[in-house]
Amino acid sequence: MNAGALSLSQTPPLWAPLRFFLTAPLFLMAAGLTLMFAPDGLFTTRWSPAMLALTHMLTLGFLGMCMVGAVQQLVPVLAGARLPWPEGFSRVLYGLWTPGTVLLVAGMGWGWRIGLQSGGALLALAILLFVTVCGHALWRSGSRHETIPAMALALLALLGSAALVIWLLWRSGWQVPLAHPMTRLHIGWASLVWITGLIMGVAYQVVPMFQLTSPYPGWLRRALVPLLVLLLSLWSLWPSAWLSLLLAATLAAFGLWTLRLQQHRRRRIPDTTLDFWRVAMGSLLLAVLAWVVWLYRPDARVEVLIGVLFLAGFATAAVNGMLYKIVPFLIWLHLTNRRGSQAGLPNMRQIIPESHARRQWWLYLASLVLLSLTVMLSLPPWPAGLAWAASGMYLFWNLWGGVRKYRAYRG
Ligand code: HEM
């Protein structure tokens, strides 16, 4: 592993990112349980209260928690820019984000206005604080790596898309669904720049480092996220099939290039993170294909399938896979720093054993396939829900196992 480009001395306290990583799978479990008890026919429309609640358990609960945790780790380590008061910052953020997400999701699911208002307010504060502090640190960073502008654009997209939808909620008297034409901007910017832009920026660093591939070519690293932003800006002003196709092609280029790098990687040891990323890229390509089909033959079921493949497939698999590298790496790093040497410490593969991660990968794969089949064939949602709940629980258990190792070795 080449960690030479990292400023490891800047690493924040262990629990600053870890509290987010450990809470995230609980939202995955909650989404699974909700799905288990959801009515049949849930997926016939995108706009039911249960669908909105489920979407945000995933986007704010699982993906958001992991991404907010990862950015707190990556800004100091990749950009070399220390965040002020990292432990306190993380606690405040966590104290706003977690109840904010729970309240917002409850508000969406039950049409509960106070939940929407209080959840929206807490999340607005969390996002404003997070983007201001991390954005300021990135601004001051001397690093020239393409990950820095990608992260900065992702942060701005999060802020913009959240501000827009909160404003729409306020204007509608805090009722969902909003069914407002501008909702597409919330979905577009949050999904394509906050989520995908950040995954791209992070991939430039972590795919070569952890999956032992060649680097992404410089032109691709420089072009991809700014191109997404340019196309999405044009699409926001003038939505058209052509711009959608160009956006789809940009996403496909990332998926295909990543698969190509993985195919030609230097060392061919089986690795669960690599397989999570293969599923992620495969799902991204299928989501792109479904999107192109939908552009010419709009269909409510295919529309839901695009969301499933993109959020529960691409984004969730990429993030779940990275957790199996980031968490053991952080635990190993903090143990080494504490002890002053690596002697007698477990290596990364012993902190979370590969066999446990592999079992969770199978569970995850089963839940993704079941969910896609449930949407397409109108199956009852409980089997998919059960699989998601089990996958989330197993992920939590594996990460918690890493924490137990840390406690056993920290001395
Ligand atoms: C402050 C945080 C957020 C709030 C208050 C919020 C609120 C909302 C609301 C009210 C809707 C329903 C729109 C409508 O009825 O027309 C919605 C839809 C959606 N939001 Fe968010 N959202 C937030 C963050 C996010 C994030 C970070 C993502 C990440 C991708 C996201 C993804 C989506 C998606 C995909 C939909 C469409 C859901 C569907 O098709 O069923 N949201 N959001």
Ligand 1 proximity of 375 Cβ (cutoff 6 Å): no
Nearest Cα neighbor of 320 from 225, 391, 382, 400 is 391
User: Who's near 357: CB < 8 A, 6+ residues apart?
Assistant: 272, 273, 324, 398
Q: Indicate which residue's Cα is closest to atom 35 of ligand 1.
A: 187
Q: Are 20 and 92 in contact (CB under 8 A)?
A: no
Q: Are 34 and 57 in contact (CB under 8 A)?
A: yes
In a domain, 411, yes or no: no
Ligand 1 proximity of 104 Cβ (cutoff 6 Å): yes
Distance CA 302, CA 53 (A): 20
Tokens describing residue 30: 């909650």
Among 27, 58, 159, 165, name the best residue to mutate to test ligand 1's pocket (greatest count of ligand atoms within 8 A of Cβ). 165
CA of 161 to the centre of ligand 1 (A): 9
Residues in the chain, pLDDT under 70: 1-8
In a domain, 41, yes or no: yes
CA distances from 304 to 283, 378, 379 (A): 14, 12, 14
| Lookup result for tokens 């949050």 | 190
CA of 141 to the centre of ligand 1 (A): 31
Tokens describing residue 207: 């795919």
Domain harbouring 270, CATH code: 1.20.210.10
CA of 80 to the centre of ligand 1 (A): 32
In a domain, 2, yes or no: no
DSSP string, 22-56: HHHHHHHHHHHHHHHTSPTTGGG-TTSHHHHHHHH
CA of 186 to the centre of ligand 1 (A): 7
User: Who's near 299: CB < 8 A, 6+ residues apart?
Assistant: none
Ligand 1 proximity of 153 Cβ (cutoff 6 Å): no
Ligand 1 proximity of 180 Cβ (cutoff 6 Å): yes
In percent, the amount of the chain with pLDDT more than 70 equals 98
> What is the number of the ligand 1 atom nearest to the C-alpha of 51?
41
Ligand 1 proximity of 123 Cβ (cutoff 6 Å): yes
Q: Indicate which residue's Cα is closest to atom 12 of ligand 1.
A: 177
Tokens describing residue 399: 């990460």
Ligand 1 proximity of 172 Cβ (cutoff 6 Å): no
- The number of domains in the chain is 1
Helix spans in 80-217 (H): 86-110, 113-140, 147-171, 183-188, 196-211
In a domain, 156, yes or no: yes
Distance CA 78, CA 6 (A): 5
> What is the number of the ligand 1 atom nearest to the C-alpha of 116?
5
CA of 187 to the centre of ligand 1 (A): 6
CA of 167 to the centre of ligand 1 (A): 12
CA of 344 to the centre of ligand 1 (A): 47
Q: What is the pTM of this model?
A: 0.96
Nearest Cα neighbor of 66 from 97, 88, 106, 100 is 97
In terms of residue numbers, what domain contains 103?
8-406
In a domain, 3, yes or no: no
The beta strand positions in 178-308, using DSSP E, are none
User: Who's near 114: CB < 8 A, 6+ residues apart?
Assistant: 107
Among 52, 194, 305, name the best residue to mutate to test ligand 1's pocket (greatest count of ligand atoms within 8 A of Cβ). 52
Ligand 1 proximity of 179 Cβ (cutoff 6 Å): yes
Distance CA 150, CA 211 (A): 21
Task: Give exposure, 354-383, as e/b (b: 16+ Cβ within 10 Å).
Answer: bebbeebbebbbbbbebbbebbeeeeebeb
Q: Indicate which residue's Cα is closest to atom 34 of ligand 1.
A: 187
In percent, the amount of the chain with pLDDT more than 90 equals 83
CA of 278 to the centre of ligand 1 (A): 27
